[in-house]
Amino acid sequence: MKTLYAGLTEPLQISIELNNKCGMNCYFCTKARNNKEINIKIIKKFIYHIRNSKLLTSIMLSGGEPLGSKYLHDIIKICKKKHIAISIDTNINFKLDHIKFPDVNQIRVKVFSTSQNKHDKITGVKGHFKKTCDFLDIIQNDFKGSKVILFPVLNSNFKYLNDIMDFAKKRDMFLNIFFYPKSCSDPISKRNFWLIGRKLDQIVAKGNKNIFVDAPLFGTRFHHLEGWCPANKILMHISYNGAVKPCKFSDEIMGFLSRESVNAIWMNRIFKIPDKCIGCNFAEICAGGCIVNRNKEFNADYLCVYKEK
């Protein structure tokens, strides 16, 4: 299999950083924080692609802080005309008074812990947990679209999983659980990863449909957790500097939007199942796991237990 999803002539989903104005100082993050806005030339090429796309179904706007971008209105306007779904990831890097919510389908908010001290320590911003809770209260009442709490799992906060689930349930919001890759300074350990998987499988098996688990390896062992990674299969990511990557966590640069079109970069992508995974009965389920988590020794996800056999 030379490449997966080779028949797609363009991505079905695109995530894009509208700026790098994060407003947080997370201890585990390795990204540069230079408060730069995406270049207007990149935005124009992105909007040109949206206008002419035949396959694009959704875009994910992030940053930094997408709700503070001067290009937000133009992107939303053209997406609405094309019936393309829009999701926004916000760090709440703005004042909460006089909020005007854009006409988007979904807003997602990170919550690292239900403990104020723990959340504030992880984000590096005193008072951020209270601000997050206040914002969640506002969107619960004033935003009509889908409301999602993101729980980014680290080795230092995974024990808050039960509390986070209760936190989301009380607010009647969806919960999206995902794991930061090994490139961060506090990645989940293999043991804790699989312990969480067993617990989540039991919960989802009971019929909880408001939890989405973003972890492709879980599908190899747990019947009720069949998540998969869309990076390079149906999704590409555009950084605020115009670099195009498989996903926002990847260091692999597929091209630059300042030099090539979205479609040209997409058609040159390569996504192979790792050599170590060839012949594995689960390769078609996880496709090698997270592409950012692949290590040099096995060229497969470091959290995988089957590659060692």
For residue 237, give the CATH number of its domain. Answer: 3.20.20.70
Q: Quick check: is 7 in a domain?
A: no
Tens digit of pLDDT for each residue in 147-158?
999 999 999 999
Domain that holds residue 190: 13-293
- Residue 26 φ then ψ, to 5°: -60, 130
> Given pLDDT bands bounded at 50, 70 and 90, which one contains residue 2?
very low
Helical H runs in 83-185?
A: 116-123, 128-142, 161-170
How far is it, in rounded angstroms, from Cα 60 to Cα 14? 6
> Given pLDDT bands bounded at 50, 70 and 90, which one contains residue 223?
confident
More confident residue, 188 or 288: 188
Pairing mode of beta strands 106-110, 146-153: parallel
Q: Quick check: is 52 in a domain?
A: yes
Q: Quick check: is 301 in a domain?
A: no
Q: Quick check: is 6 in a domain?
A: no
Number of domains in the chain: 1
Q: Quick check: is 5 in a domain?
A: no
In the numeric block, which tokens belong to residue 155? 């080795």
Q: Quick check: is 152 in a domain?
A: yes
Fill in the DSSP letter of residue 218: G
More confident residue, 298 or 239: 239
How far is it, in rounded angstroms, from Cα 262 to Cα 250? 17
pLDDT at 1: 39
Closest CA to 43 of 26, 58, 61: 61
Residue 33: exposure state from Cβ atoms within 10 A (0-12, 13-18, ≥19): middle
Tens digit of pLDDT for each residue in 228-243?
788 888 999 999 999 9
